């Protein structure tokens, strides 16, 4: 009986040391591939959302900074933004400047020190009243009291790969900002051409 036990134990140990067969390895590799394919879209979506959220936070803070500087210095200040196609991703960028000394041509705008957002995050606005003359630059303007110069549908859309989107609106003449994640299932204005404008209650 004791002898039989040792023989059986030895046989099982030899089998475990033999390792996996080629078929078993292929099955494991296939399963890993399938799981990766299932998880990949969710991971990409998560990364896109994080980039857009980080950019939204930076833009919000920069706009509030422009407003604060205007109040402190008692001069008109602005938050200006554009998309730069130089990186092939049309990534958004912004700058905070004195409205009284802003550039008058494209070269002047290009020479400013722009702050880039997360890679691939674009800034969108089709509001003509805040577009700078002769260039693809838009601006949120504040007077020396920190009050918004424009209000009607002044918005900024922050998006990553045309999917994850956030909206920033100047809510009132005091320059208060409203920020939210864009839910395209809720539309308040079906005639608007912009997603943010469709979602705005103003």
| pLDDT of amino acid 98 | 97
CATH 3.55.40.10 matches 52-199: yes
Structure-block tokens of residue 45:
């979506």
Map out the domains of the chain as residue ranges. 52-199
| pLDDT of amino acid 36 | 67
Whether residue 5 has pLDDT greater than 60: no
Span between the terminal Cα atoms of the chain, in Å: 89
> What confidence tier does 2 reach under pLDDT thresholds 50, 70, 90?
very low
Q: Where are the beta strands (DSSP E) in the chain?
A: 77-84, 91-98, 115-116, 121-124, 138-142, 155-160, 164-170, 177-181
- Greater model confidence, 160 or 77: 77
| pLDDT of amino acid 185 | 61
Whether residue 136 has pLDDT greater than 80: yes
Q: Tokens 């939204």 map to which residue? A: 56
In the chain, the percentage of residues whose pLDDT exceeds 70 is: 68
C-alpha dist (Å) from residue 104 to 12, 44, 111? 84, 40, 12
């Amino acid at each position: 009986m004791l002898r039989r036990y040792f023989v059986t134990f030895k046989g099982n140990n030899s089998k475990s040391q033999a390792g996996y067969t080629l078929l078993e390895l292929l099955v494991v590799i296939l399963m890993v591939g399938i799981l990766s394919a299932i998880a990949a879209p969710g991971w990409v979506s998560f990364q896109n959302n994080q980039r857009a959220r980080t950019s939204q936070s930076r833009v919000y803070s920069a706009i509030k900074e422009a407003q604060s500087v205007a109040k402190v210095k008692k001069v008109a200040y602005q938050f200006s933004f554009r998309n730069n196609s130089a990186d092939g991703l049309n990534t958004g960028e912004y700058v905070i400047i004195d409205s009284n000394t802003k550039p008058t041509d494209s070269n002047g705008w290009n020479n400013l020190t722009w702050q880039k957002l997360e890679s691939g995050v674009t800034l969108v606005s089709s509001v003509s009243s805040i577009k700078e003359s002769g260039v693809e630059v838009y601006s949120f303007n504040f007077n020396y009291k920190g009050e918004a110069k424009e209000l009607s549908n002044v918005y900024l859309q922050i998006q990553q790969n045309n999917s994850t989107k956030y909206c920033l609106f100047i809510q009132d003449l005091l320059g208060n900002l409203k920020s939210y994640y864009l839910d395209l299932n809720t539309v308040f204005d079906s005639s608007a051409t912009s997603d943010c404008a469709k979602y705005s209650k103003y």
